[in-house]
Amino acid sequence: MKNYKPVYSIIASIAIQLCLGVAYLWSLFQTGIAKSIFDGDNAAASLTFSLLLATLTFGSILGGKLAAKYSIRTVVIIGGVILSLGFFFASFVTASVPWLLWLTYGVMGGVGMGFTYSTTISSAQKWFPHKKGLVTGVIVSALGFGGVVFTPIIEALIKQFGGQQVGEQKTFMVLSGLFLVICTIGGLMIKNPPDDFENKKQEPSGAAVHESPAPIGADLSPKQVLATPSYYFVTLAMALACMGGLMMIGFAKPIAVAKGLESTAVVGVLIISICNSFGRLLWGIISDKIGRKSTLIILLAGSGVMSLFVNAANGYWIYVVIAFIGFFYGGFLSNFPALTADLFGARHMATNYGMVLLGFGIGAVVSSYVAGYYKNIAATDISLMFPAFIIAAICAGVGILLILLLKVKKVSVH
């Protein structure tokens, strides 16, 4: 530990999160997979994506418990293996057994992601306890930026392997090998600080005073967390907050095509990935300045308003709407982990945030079903899909009420 530098853990976490960003590129696979494996059923195909996000929750909880018992290094490497195998087996699924894609890409992929997702965030927060918003933003923005990096790669691979309805599954196999290599190398680089690390750190001067949901340094066990009302407010708020972003992530490309932008539809995927990444970093920094609660209220209001513009935005204006939805969605994914650490402490962060991610999993399943249902109705008339985004806007409004119910107090945050 004497020669170990915290930056090693940050670099490893960033590399791993870049790989996890592939999960947010489902819209590149959606149309082809729906036709080749699910007989054109968009709702059934999008369930693959929602299962991955839902089981990520389970993987995060289990991974957090295993990391506390064994080591973060072991958990990250195991997670990489499970994720890699999920994509590898998904490359062999056929239309005769479509449910296997749910099991491989969906369940195995999600569990593997969960093992690596919350553990890397938790490690970064432990190394930099007074900059939770910033380091969380840096780590999870890498996941968003992974979409930018991998979009042209995946598009090229699908084309190289025969195009839509043929190339998607061969692309899964290539990604499988990439995940295995990067997660293994990253896992060997990462470690947690010693238990007394935070107490040994010199308190920096110039502390800012803003709202915080709980005294910094309060470490609650998962059992204690479940006994607090705050846990249920935050978890449900996360489920509601992510609805609009998840709908757009899963259907950005089909929506752009339906808006008459088929030749540039992949731009929508790039835009939401870039803005998702930028939002994670920027809103993490902002929340360190103005507080998590204030930041989340701004994000929920912005996401709800932009969801209402999906139908009205025509032509290239849809890309503006996609950009803002991605930007606000990214903010949720850096603020909820930081809020969890503020509320319940850093010691059990990986497991506690895994429990909060139950809300994310619920939101993923519901948003995927709702968006897929209305997409089946809409076909090429995208206006018929608009009710899905009205539902997302209403959910954002309810989320604001839940965040307002969080009891806060003024504390000094460094």
Amino acid 382: pLDDT: 62
Q: What's the CA gap between 4 and 371, in Å, rounded?
A: 46
Confidence of residue 6 (pLDDT cuts 50, 70, 90): confident
- Residue 198 placed within a domain: no
Q: What's the CA gap between 275 and 26, in Å, rounded?
A: 17
Torsion angle of the four alpha carbons 336, 360, 223, 60, in this order, in degrees rounded to the nearest 10: -90
Classify 165 in phi/psi space as left (phi over 0), alpha (psi -120 to 50) or beta. left
Residue 368 or residue 245, greater confidence = 245
Q: What's the CA gap between 242 and 332, in Å, rounded?
A: 7
Taking 80 as the threshold, does the pLDDT of residue 335 lie above it? yes
Amino acid 2: pLDDT: 64
CA 6 from centroid of its chain's CA atoms: 24
- Residue 199 placed within a domain: no
The listed range with the strongest mean pLDDT (16-25, 74-83, 161-170) is 74-83
Amino acid 182: pLDDT: 94
**Average pLDDT, rounded, for the chain:** 85
| DSSP letter string, 163-182 | STTTHHHHHHHHHHHHHHHH
Going by C-beta distance under 8 Å and a sequence separation of 6 or more, which residues neighbour residue 153? none
Taking 60 as the threshold, does the pLDDT of residue 205 lie above it? no
Could you give the number of structural domains in the chain?
1
Residue 186 or residue 349, greater confidence = 186
Question: What is the average per-residue pLDDT within 323-332?
Answer: 94
| DSSP letter string, 250-265 | HHHHHHHHHTT-GGGT
Q: What's the CA gap between 117 and 123, in Å, rounded?
A: 10
Question: What is the average per-residue pLDDT within 319-343?
Answer: 92
Centre a 10 Å sphere on the Cβ of residue 401 and count the other Cβ atoms it contains.
13
Going by C-beta distance under 8 Å and a sequence separation of 6 or more, which residues neighbour residue 31? 164, 253, 254
The residue whose two tokens read 């018929």 is 384
- Residue 239 placed within a domain: yes
Taking 90 as the threshold, does the pLDDT of residue 259 lie above it? no
pTM of the complete model: 0.76
pLDDT digits (tens, 9 = 90+) for 163-190: 777 788 899 999 999 999 999 999 999 9
Amino acid 279: pLDDT: 92
* Enclosing domain of residue 346: 6-193+207-413
Taking 70 as the threshold, does the pLDDT of residue 411 lie above it? no
**Which H helix or E strand runs over 409?**
strand 409-413
**DSSP bridge partners of 409:** 212
Residue 380 or residue 258, greater confidence = 258
Confidence of residue 202 (pLDDT cuts 50, 70, 90): very low
Question: What is the average per-residue pLDDT within 186-205?
Answer: 69
Do residues 29 and 168 make contact, with C-beta atoms less than 8 angstroms apart?
yes
CA 252 from centroid of its chain's CA atoms: 16
- Whichever domain contains 61, its CATH number is 1.20.1250.20
Amino acid 81: pLDDT: 96
Amino acid 162: pLDDT: 84
Among residues 193, 189, 178, 157, the alpha carbon closest in space to that of 80 is found at: 178
Torsion angle of the four alpha carbons 52, 331, 140, 27, in this order, in degrees rounded to the nearest 10: 40
Taking 80 as the threshold, does the pLDDT of residue 319 lie above it? yes
- Residue 201 placed within a domain: no
pLDDT digits (tens, 9 = 90+) for 120-170: 988 888 888 777 778 888 888 888 788 788 888 998 999 998 877 778 889
| 3-class SS of residue 120 | helix
Amino acid 346: pLDDT: 77
Residue 259 or residue 242, greater confidence = 242
CA 180 from centroid of its chain's CA atoms: 20
Question: What is the average per-residue pLDDT within 206-231?
Answer: 70
The residue whose two tokens read 């006994």 is 227
Burial category of 335 from C-beta neighbours within 10 Å (exposed 0-12, middle 13-18, buried 19 and up):
buried
